[in-house]
Amino acid sequence: MKKILIICAAAALTGCGIYKPYTRPEVTTAGLYGSAETADTTTLGDIRWQEMFTDPQLQALIALALENNTDLLSAGWRVKEAEATLKSARLAYLPSFNFAPQGSLSSLSSFDGGPTAKTYSIPVTASWQIDIFNGLTNAKRKAKALYAQSKEYEQAVKTQLISGVANLYYTLLMLDSQYEVTEETAAKWRQSVEAMRALKEAGYANEAGVAQYEANTLAIEASLHDLGYQRTQAENSLCSLLGEVPHTIARGRLENQQLPDDLTVGVPLLMLSNRPDVRSAEYSLMQSYYATASARSALYPSITLSGTVGWTNNSGAGIVNPGKLIWNAAGSLLQPIFNANANRARVKIAKAQQEESKLSFQQTLLNAGAEVNNALTQCQSARAKADLRVRQIEALERAVESTELLMQHGSTTYLEVLTAQQSLLSAQLSQIADRFDEIQGTVNLYQALGGGRDITEEK
């Protein structure tokens, strides 16, 4: 026993790496958001989704998606699986017990009808591995990190789902507005065709002008079918997120939507605690760390205590004989010798996987910072264009009115009128797209900052 203790003490002095808990590697977050970094400790992502999206119809759709979405339900089962794995790792600390009754019949002679011997034993065996080199502890820590990672994965799916439903809903509202503007324009152009025909009969226009107006009117009417198809696609995609068959989505209007004006992004360090995908990547790194420590543990001896207690009858008497008590206890030490090289190879593999996880964690953090910067820039750019677009439309409306009057008095051509009308339609559609870009940028920023978390549970 003293030799065993000496071997274990010597191995412990050289195996400090198997006892150290995980610590986060040094990561640089300075400048992660570019010029958007602020000193605020709260961000847009800290708002509850019910406060972020105030449209009642959108709120109902998000709630339905959180209840029915198959990806989110699958992530929930993944959490349960990881929870069972953690429970199994914790139970590994306890001794294992087995009930193994045995019995036999044997005859001393098979020719002269000699007596038959009846023996039995009713033992309970126990085995207990002593976790002197943290093999079980590292396995438990790895399972704990896996459980935490699965919960972060579930949160990442939830965040993405909320943003996905919101973006598709706002896409539908944008398409509705564009369809409405295009339909109104098509109606005006039909009136223009009739006006051109009247001018032709009066001798103020020719067939070429009438034909050009008709062609442009038909092109606008054809674009209505394209917008209708895009709306159907968006509705089907949204229904898929809701876990329902395709159907018409009840919705509001784009001009009635209100989102927070404050686009606070906070300090980049908050990304490590708010973004579920960043936290998931770190938990993956943590698992790799404990996998390496567990592989190191296999290089050192393992100590197992075992014992047996029960009843036996080895005298050959009848089964009713209570027999006698049997027990034994033993201890064993297993030191890898021939498979030591294989164990060292496993350590090298685990170290390489740990470095890969570290790089993945760093890249995930960089990607998260880029997403924040992109979403913020998208929203700010759309807001900057809003006033310019209003002034552009006002100018184009005056241009259309002026060219139509000039054409009626014969001082300009129908081509100038067509150009002005087409430019006006394009500007009106662009204005709607700008508003959508602003909303989408805000939604994307909300997702990039880890929005959708249950703040009450975290507190």
3-state helix, strand and coil shares in percent for the chain, rounded to the nearest 5: 65, 10, 25
Using pLDDT thresholds of 50, 70 and 90, give the confidence band for residue 142.
confident
Four-CA torsion 211, 216, 217, 221, nearest 10 degrees: 140
DSSP reduced 3-state for 309:
strand
Q: What is the pLDDT confidence band of residue 2, given thresholds at 50, 70 and 90?
A: very low
pLDDT of residue 400: 87
What mean pLDDT is predicted for residues 3-13? 46
**How many Cβ atoms from other residues are within 10 Å of residue 324's Cβ?**
10
Tokens linked to 57: 């119809």
CA angle, 445 as apex, 443 and 451 as ends, to 5°?
Answer: 80
Token representation of residue 45: 């992502």
Query: In whole angstroms, what is the distance from residue 327 CA to residue 100 CA?
Result: 14
pLDDT at 248 over 60: yes
pTM of the model: 0.81
Residue written as token pair 């050289």: 14
Q: How confident is the model at residue 6 (pLDDT cuts 50, 70, 90)?
A: very low
- Mean pLDDT across the stretch 243-256? 93
Amino acid (1-letter code) at residue 76: G
Q: What pLDDT score was predicted for residue 311?
A: 66
Residue 331's pLDDT is what?
A: 62
Alpha-carbon distance of 414 to 411, in angstroms, equals 10
Across the range 183-194, mean pLDDT stands at 88
Residue 411 pLDDT:
61
Structural domains in the chain?
20-93+133-300+340-458 (1.20.1600.10), 96-130+301-334 (2.20.200.10)
Q: What is the pLDDT of residues 66-109, one digit of tens each?
A: 999 999 999 899 899 888 888 887 777 677 777 777 766 666 55
| Per-residue confidence band for 325, with pLDDT thresholds at 50, 70 and 90 | low
d(CA 342, CA 340): 5
Q: What is the dihedral of CA 282, 286, 288, 294, to 10 degrees?
A: 180
Which neighbouring-strand residues pair with 303? 130, 333
Bridge partners for 328 per DSSP = 308
Task: Output the furthest CA–CA distance in the chain (Å, rounded).
Answer: 137
Mean per-residue pLDDT, 20-28: 85
User: Averaging pLDDT over each range in 60-64, 105-109, 117-121, 133-137, which range is the top one?
Assistant: 60-64
The single-letter code of the amino acid at 178 is: Q
Q: Report which of 15, 212, 210 is spatially closest to residue 132, judged by C-alpha positions.
A: 15
- Report the distance separating Cα 436 and Cα 434, nearest Å: 5
Average the pLDDT over 222-243 and give the result.
Answer: 95
Q: Which of 4-8, 125-129, 131-135, 430-434 has the highest mean pLDDT?
A: 430-434
* Cβ-Cβ contacts under 8 Å for 396 (sequence gap 6 or more): 420, 423, 424, 427
Residue 398: count of CB within 10 angstroms of its CB: 12
CB 188 within 8 A of CB 305: no
- Note the pLDDT of residue 432: 94
Q: pLDDT at residue 5 above 50? A: no
User: To which H or E segment does residue 438 belong?
Assistant: helix 414-448
Measure the CA–CA gap between 192 and 179, rounded to whole angstroms: 20
Helix axes 340-408, 414-448, angle to 10 degrees: 150
- The alpha carbons of the chain give a radius of gyration, in whole angstroms, of 37
What is the spatial distance between Cα 335 and Cα 6, in angstroms, rounded to a whole number?
13
Strand pairing partners for 130?
303
Q: How much is the average pLDDT of 331-351? A: 76
CA distance 326 to 315: 13
Element (H or E) spanning 311, and its range?
A: strand 302-313
% of residues, the chain, pLDDT over 70 = 81
